Amino acid sequence: MDDTTVHVASAKQRAIILASFAAISAVLGVYFWDVRFAGFQMLPGIFFGIVLAAAIWLWVSPRPFGILTIFVSTVIAWLAAEYTAKYAFVFLAEMVARIGPQSERIGAFLDAVPGLVGGLVGSAILTFALSRVCKEFRLQENWRRIVVAGTALGVLILFYYHSEPGRYFAERPLPLLLPWQMVVAALIGHTIVPRIQYDKHEAFGCERPHIGPEKPMSDERQKS
């Protein structure tokens, strides 16, 4: 698929493209989980933010404001989701400890709640940021799909909590990140309405390439 074809990709193609790159970003996020660059931790939200920022550059607008808005908002959404899930887990653990004998029966169920709450917070922040850049995400049917999917997939945090000590996934939640990012990215790609009048060539002051049937030659060019 060449550069021009990517710009005019169908909804299904956009979904597949973003889901594929989201899978790569999830793997990178897990691989670089403990890596620091220039003193900053390489958060998974950074890699996912790059994917969504690229989507804005390809199909919405090459202008820096929209690209940076989505990138920064994605990182913020990831941090908010992570800390919300952690605080929810601590709160529920204390609550279950007070219950006493019943804690074993409801403990497994409550372990899923932090993931659901974190998924809700993260997907809500991300969708709000998208609605500031793309008007189609202001429609209830569009943003609701992403928020519902992001919230529901948060239950996969159970694979993170119940991993056996010493196993790779005990500290690196690929079973959560991989499906979450792929599904959310696919929904975003499917929802985005491409703005063909904007592309990267305009951002650098170049003439936008013609997309469609070949333009007829002018009289002056025919004479030459």
Residue burial 171-189, b: 16+ Cβ < 10 Å; e: rest: ebbbbbbbbbbbbbbbbbb
Task: Give the separation between CA 109 and CA 153, rounded to whole angstroms.
Answer: 15
Report how far apart the first and last C-alpha atoms of the chain are (Å, whole number): 34
Task: Give the separation between CA 30 and CA 173, rounded to whole angstroms.
Answer: 7
pLDDT of residue 220: 47
> Between residues 10 and 221, which one has the greater pLDDT?
10
CA nearest to 150, candidates 22, 32, 46, 29 = 22
Backbone angles phi, psi at 182, to 5 degrees: -65, -45
Considering only 22-26, 78-82, 195-199, which range has the smallest mean pLDDT?
Answer: 195-199
Task: Give the separation between CA 199 and CA 221, rounded to whole angstroms.
Answer: 27
Domain ranges, ordered by start, for the chain: 3-208
Q: Which residue type does 182 have?
A: M
Q: What is the mean pLDDT of the chain?
A: 78
Maximum CA extent, the chain:
93
Question: pLDDT per residue over 120-146, tens digit each?
Answer: 999 999 999 999 999 999 999 999 999
pLDDT of residue 6: 65
The answer on pLDDT for 217 being more than 90 is no
pLDDT of residue 171: 55
Question: pLDDT per residue over 35-61, tens digit each?
Answer: 666 666 668 889 999 999 999 999 998
From residue 18, alpha-carbon distances to 59, 82, 104, 183 in Å are 12, 22, 41, 9
